[in-house]
Structure 1
Amino acid sequence: MQSMQTASQSPNKNVRVIPATKPLAKPEDALDRPLRVAAYCRVSTEMEEQLNSYAVQTSHYTEKIKNTPNWEFVGIFADKGISGTAVKNRDEFNRMIRCCKRGRIDMILTKSVSRFARNTLDCIKYIRILKEIGVDVYFEEQGIHSMKAGSEFLISIFGSQAQAESENLSANIRWGKDKAAAQGKVAFPAKLYGYRRNPDGSVEIIPHQAAVVRRSYDAYLDGDTVLDIIKSLADDGIPSPDGKERWHKNTIIGILTNEKYAGDYLTNKTFCADCLTKKVVRNNGERVQYYIEDHHPAIIPREIFLKVQEEMARRTSLEPKGDFSSATGVGKYRSQYLLSEILICGDCGARYKRVNWYRNGKRKVVWRCINRVQGGPERCSSPTIEEQHLHDAIMQAVMRLAKQDTDVFRIIKEQIRAGILGGDDGIGDIEALQQRIALIDTEIDAKISSVTADNIEDYDDNAIMELLTEKSELEHRLQKAIEQNAAREGKEEKVQEAMQITDMLKNHPMKFDDKMLRKLLKRVEVLSTEEILLTFAGGLQMREKMQDTLKRMPIRKG
């Protein structure tokens, strides 16, 4: 029992103190030794005032470092015309950090936290990196040494303030640009193929480059693909905007879709989603846009530009060739053969495909329904048609159209015109609306002028409001009528093209020509082995007989 009581008692502990033999090294103590010192300067724009500030900063720090005892001048690292919200593009800053990591710098002098970085995260990140390798950053304006205790808290406060200033500045600049754009005041790009921006801000056309732009638009409307245009330019030795022998596909697409070539300017196609990361995204309705017409000299008439956009949309929306086409359900446009696009099977509705057949070593070109080719006769029983027979039948129909008697030919042309324009010209509506609006203005002026101090009690405010309401409705209708008329003017060119072709064919028989027929034909449907149905521009339809198709005998497909 006694032994258990002894075990439960805690033993006496003997604690010995081991005193420190040398003082704890503090980060700031490193500042008392000779230091290799560099300075970092930055100005965010290249305006004259900022460049003067840059020169003053450089001179100040060079003199300060060289005149301070125990300081060895390493150099000045300076970024001109660079934003401080992101480190990625600040070449001199990054070079300075590399020198610090290689042990060549002990201290960095800079004017303020905002000059070092306007992004709080970047600022703290690099302060910590430098602190770990024993490099001090001295912010002169705030009087802060990054190596001293508590400095990171102060730096984060000033860094957050600098970041907020940058975000506010970005918002103010965007607001100013939007207000200027609303008044049609937008600076033209410094570089755009076909144009030159002069020092005074004026814009002029570069003739030889403009000729290439016009050529590209014309070729596209004639049925060429983007790759066809690229090959044509390369064959003629025309260099790309960056001087290379071959043009890039996106460059041609950019030319064909850029409204600036029509003399217009669309603002805010993209925008900076974050002023810190500088991430640029496409504007899908998140930012207001302004479309400024007649902003600068046009290389391409607006009507031609709109026709190219229509043609692009048409090619993109082509129906699939057949039931066995790609999973996208969209057909692929090919410029080489017009019939690949418009020759349709009357049995299943799929498109026809050009196929090489061989018999006794001789090549024969035929057209076959793609469902028949891929699915066999069980899928489609449409006929195979020899290309020459098909061409002959199409040209016979076109010539027959052109050679109709005068009255019939006039009716056909009117049908084509009506089909393309889609109704009357609407000019009468515009004139009637303008006359009624002018009459309302006269009535309103007369009513207001008739009011005097003697009859003001009898003034009928409701009558004025009714007239103003009617005028507002009429102005809305007038704007719609003007827009519809402008669309008709663009379609009128299509009418003229079709008319010119039919007039030419009437007197000068022509061979099958893809580019010419592309402007005249919309669809050719194979009805049977002996007949096709042609649909012309405007919806006019005509049946045409064909010669007998290929005789049914064993033929090897190639």
Structure 2
Amino acid sequence: MVNFTNNKCTIYCRVSSDRDEQANSINNQTSGLIDYAEQNNMIIADSGVFCRRNQESEPFRGYIDEGFSGAQSAKYRRAFQQMIFDSKMGLFKTILTKSVARFGRNVKDMLITIDELEKQGVGVWFEDIKAYSLNGADKIRIQLFATLAEEESRAKSDSIQWAKKQAARKGIWAGREPYGYNIEKGKLVVDEYEKNIVIMIFDLYLKKGYGVSKIAKVLEAELKVPGKRGGRWTGSHVAGILQNSVYTGHTTLHRTRKSNINLGLIEKIPESDQIKLDDESLRIITDETFELAEIERNKRPKMKDCEKGIDTRYSNAHLFSNLIYCSNCGGSMRKKVQKTTRTTHHYYYCRNHEIYGNDICKYRNLQREEDLLEWVKEEFRTFIADTDDHEFNFNLLLETKYESEDFDTLIKEAKTKLLEVENEKEVNFRLLSKQIIDDEDFGARNTAIKLEIEKLKSEINRYSNINKEIELFHTEYKNFIKSLSEINLDNLDNMTLRKFISGISIATMWIPGEGDEEQTIRSIHWRFMEWDQLDIINDHVKKFVLDKQPK
């Protein structure tokens, strides 16, 4: 029996949430430990802090962590960390806690902490098992119960994961609701006010060509739109909305799970085991709008700052922003506005020449926006009318992507490889059982095997449904031709230009047979569907000519 008379002590309590029943648990823990201290004539130290889940804290006689899982590393429990610090200051000699599970559910962290405290001459009393960490005979029992607490935590996590998966199958939303929705009876429902904001975000991104930071600024500073739960709008919030397929009514649940709650490990669920739901009542935007946003996000170009060797930021501030570049140095063209008493002129010139001089680029390549715009319009008329060229490009793409492949053979090869990889799972388990590899190696190998299996299954599924993919490809081509025919050349904007043009190059060079003077040459690099027109030809040549040459 440990004699605690006149021993200066403190108490440690923890609950994993801030709900009312957990608050009662804190009261029960603290009152029980205070009673124990008084019954054993212990002196309770005045030090302590009550750390709440909302990051607030207040002075307290003892150390309380509210809303923190015991499976988390101790470094995330602020009151716990303060207690360890205060122990080193000699503010107490004993820590009273209700149980091993309250102190922590991570065996490794707990044992390390107990050893550190012992070096300071501080012991931990576990009331439920009547064990004291400074008593050598109790150490094995503490370790045993710590192991049981960790296993209980893992089992509870698995149970919660299973329950979440079952709920997901019924359309129950497990996390916080995305912007644009509320949660009613566990399911998402559209918030009409926020719905209009989501539509506005996609319109600003696609029709106005705004970047995510600029959209956030409009929402936050200009329109004063409140964020979800009163938060501020940031570029990352806007980007998250633009990439979330829930706005098309398509939701994917059960995408990740905690493979080891005690180590904080999260693994990706194979796509075949994810839960995919379609609910038209959740639709805010069309599939086409979402796909256009994805294409736009991938294709927004960057120009090169040759002196610094870095890419310049995307911009859509002007008609030809991030489209026109100097072919002599590869740098972007900067716009300049020149006002006179009679009129205003808009010019573009090589940024690198203007900033760094002839050492970087010898040519200014000055372009008047009015002249450039008329030239672009004429080039557009030619491009729109060249239906034979469009058909040629489409057939090249079709042949490169599909007709060159023997999909029956690819399916057979993928299935053979899948069997081999699935056998590796059994091999991996045998290596573990024979202790040739440890748990960490087993986990890493197992994760790699699962990812490879998922990749092969995805390939087999794609190859098996290739006819549907080809049909969709034809539809995309028809939509491209339709949108091309609907262009209003008298009302061009940066967004429209970037949909069909990947770049406009301006170069100054000497042309053989055209005299002794250097000439300025303009050239448009057209975008056919989502591909650069030159890349279509290069990819076809590489696949059917270069790759088939003997090596």
Report the TM-score when normalising by structure 1: 0.61
SS in 2 for 1:193: coil
Counterpart of 2:77 in structure 1 is 90
SS in 2 for 1:366: strand
Write the letter of the residue equivalent to 1:231: K
In 2, Cα distance between the equivalents of 1:82 and 1:390?
62
SS in 2 for 1:124: helix
Counterpart of 2:41 in structure 1 is 70
Which structure 2 residues correspond to residues 120-135 of structure 1 after superposition, within 5 A?
Answer: 120-128=107-115, 130-131=117-118, 135=122
Instruction: Go from structure 1 to structure 2 and tell me whether the alpha carbon gap of 1:124 and 1:377 turns closer, same or farther (over 3 Å shift).
Output: closer
In 2, Cα distance between the equivalents of 1:189 and 1:379?
54
Instruction: Go from structure 1 to structure 2 and tell me whether the alpha carbon gap of 1:232 and 1:484 turns closer, same or farther (over 3 Å shift).
Output: farther
In 2, Cα distance between the equivalents of 1:37 and 1:475?
64
Write the letter of the residue equivalent to 2:322: E
SS in 2 for 1:70: coil
SS in 2 for 1:308: helix
Is residue 365–residue 507 contact of structure 2 (8 Å, CA) maintained in 1? no
SS in 2 for 1:341: coil
Is residue 65–residue 71 contact of structure 1 (8 Å, CA) maintained in 2? yes
Of 109, 112, 117, which residue of structure 1 is paired with 2:104? 117
Instruction: Go from structure 1 to structure 2 and tell me whether the alpha carbon gap of 1:157 and 1:220 turns closer, same or farther (over 3 Å shift).
Output: same
Which has a greater percent of helix? 2
Of 380, 394, 403, which residue of structure 1 is paired with 2:376? 394
Q: CA deviation at 1:475?
A: 9.1
Is residue 419–residue 537 contact of structure 1 (8 Å, CA) maintained in 2? no
Residue 156 (1) aligns with residue 143 (2): yes
Is residue 417–residue 538 contact of structure 1 (8 Å, CA) maintained in 2? no
Counterpart of 1:313 in structure 2 is 298
SS in 2 for 1:224: coil
Write the letter of the residue equivalent to 1:302: D
In 1, Cα distance between the equivalents of 2:506 and 2:93?
85
Is residue 505–residue 523 contact of structure 2 (8 Å, CA) maintained in 1? yes
SS in 1 for 2:195: helix
Counterpart of 1:292 in structure 2 is 276
In 2, Cα distance between the equivalents of 1:359 and 1:47?
66
Greater gyration radius: 1
Counterpart of 1:256 in structure 2 is 242
Instruction: Go from structure 1 to structure 2 and tell me whether the alpha carbon gap of 1:269 and 1:364 turns closer, same or farther (over 3 Å shift).
Output: farther
Deviations 1:27-72 (A, max 9, x none): x7752x2456655444446789877766665565555555x36356
Q: CA deviation at 1:134?
A: 5.5
Instruction: Go from structure 1 to structure 2 and tell me whether the alpha carbon gap of 1:221 and 1:179 turns closer, same or farther (over 3 Å shift).
Output: same
Counterpart of 2:516 in structure 1 is none
Residue 238 (1) aligns with residue 225 (2): yes
- CA-based RMSD of the aligned residues comes to 4.9
In 1, Cα distance between the equivalents of 2:159 and 2:503?
55
Structure 2 unpaired stretches of 5+: 46-60, 399-458, 509-518, 534-551
In 2, Cα distance between the equivalents of 1:89 and 1:474?
43
SS in 1 for 2:322: helix
In 2, Cα distance between the equivalents of 1:417 and 1:336?
34
Counterpart of 1:547 in structure 2 is none
Is residue 347–residue 367 contact of structure 2 (8 Å, CA) maintained in 1? yes
Of 333, 339, 348, which residue of structure 1 is paired with 2:314? 333
Of 210, 223, 226, which residue of structure 1 is paired with 2:212? 226
Of 121, 130, 141, which residue of structure 2 is paired with 1:143? 130
Q: CA deviation at 1:365?
A: 4.0
Q: CA deviation at 1:241?
A: 4.0
Q: CA deviation at 1:387?
A: 2.3
Q: CA deviation at 1:314?
A: 1.0
Of 324, 347, 351, which residue of structure 2 is paired with 1:366? 347
Is residue 416–residue 536 contact of structure 1 (8 Å, CA) maintained in 2? no
Residue 343 (1) aligns with residue 324 (2): yes
Of 196, 199, 209, which residue of structure 2 is paired with 1:211? 196
In 1, Cα distance between the equivalents of 2:154 and 2:248?
35
Q: CA deviation at 1:151?
A: 3.1
Residue 196 (1) aligns with residue 178 (2): no
Write the letter of the residue equivalent to 2:41: N
In 2, Cα distance between the equivalents of 1:526 and 1:96?
67
Write the letter of the residue equivalent to 1:385: Q
Is residue 522–residue 536 contact of structure 1 (8 Å, CA) maintained in 2? yes
Write the letter of the residue equivalent to 1:252: V
Instruction: Go from structure 1 to structure 2 and tell me whether the alpha carbon gap of 1:168 and 1:138 turns closer, same or farther (over 3 Å shift).
Output: same
In 1, Cα distance between the equivalents of 2:30 and 2:477?
64
Instruction: Go from structure 1 to structure 2 and tell me whether the alpha carbon gap of 1:420 and 1:116 turns closer, same or farther (over 3 Å shift).
Output: same
Q: CA deviation at 1:335?
A: 1.0
In 2, Cα distance between the equivalents of 1:125 and 1:325?
53
Structure 1 unpaired stretches of 5+: 1-27, 403-408, 425-472, 542-558
Instruction: Go from structure 1 to structure 2 and tell me whether the alpha carbon gap of 1:61 and 1:366 turns closer, same or farther (over 3 Å shift).
Output: closer
Instruction: Go from structure 1 to structure 2 and tell me whether the alpha carbon gap of 1:365 and 1:165 turns closer, same or farther (over 3 Å shift).
Output: same
Is residue 245–residue 251 contact of structure 2 (8 Å, CA) maintained in 1? yes
Instruction: Go from structure 1 to structure 2 and tell me whether the alpha carbon gap of 1:287 and 1:270 turns closer, same or farther (over 3 Å shift).
Output: closer
Is residue 321–residue 494 contact of structure 2 (8 Å, CA) maintained in 1? no
Write the letter of the residue equivalent to 2:133: S
SS in 1 for 2:347: strand
Is residue 368–residue 385 contact of structure 1 (8 Å, CA) maintained in 2? yes
Write the letter of the residue equivalent to 2:323: I
Is residue 323–residue 498 contact of structure 2 (8 Å, CA) maintained in 1? no
In 2, Cα distance between the equivalents of 1:117 and 1:378?
62
Counterpart of 2:289 in structure 1 is 304
Instruction: Go from structure 1 to structure 2 and tell me whether the alpha carbon gap of 1:414 and 1:49 turns closer, same or farther (over 3 Å shift).
Output: farther
Instruction: Go from structure 1 to structure 2 and tell me whether the alpha carbon gap of 1:155 and 1:390 turns closer, same or farther (over 3 Å shift).
Output: same
Which structure 2 residues correspond to residues 446-485 of structure 1 after superposition, within 5 A?
Answer: 479-485=465-471
Instruction: Go from structure 1 to structure 2 and tell me whether the alpha carbon gap of 1:421 and 1:210 turns closer, same or farther (over 3 Å shift).
Output: farther
Write the letter of the residue equivalent to 2:77: R
Q: CA deviation at 1:242?
A: 6.0
Counterpart of 1:514 in structure 2 is 494
Report the TM-score when normalising by structure 2: 0.62
Instruction: Go from structure 1 to structure 2 and tell me whether the alpha carbon gap of 1:92 and 1:474 turns closer, same or farther (over 3 Å shift).
Output: closer
In 1, Cα distance between the equivalents of 2:90 and 2:360?
80
Is residue 212–residue 236 contact of structure 2 (8 Å, CA) maintained in 1? no
SS in 2 for 1:192: coil
In 2, Cα distance between the equivalents of 1:256 and 1:325?
34
Is residue 12–residue 97 contact of structure 2 (8 Å, CA) maintained in 1? yes
In 1, Cα distance between the equivalents of 2:198 and 2:130?
59
Is residue 37–residue 108 contact of structure 1 (8 Å, CA) maintained in 2? yes
Write the letter of the residue equivalent to 1:299: I
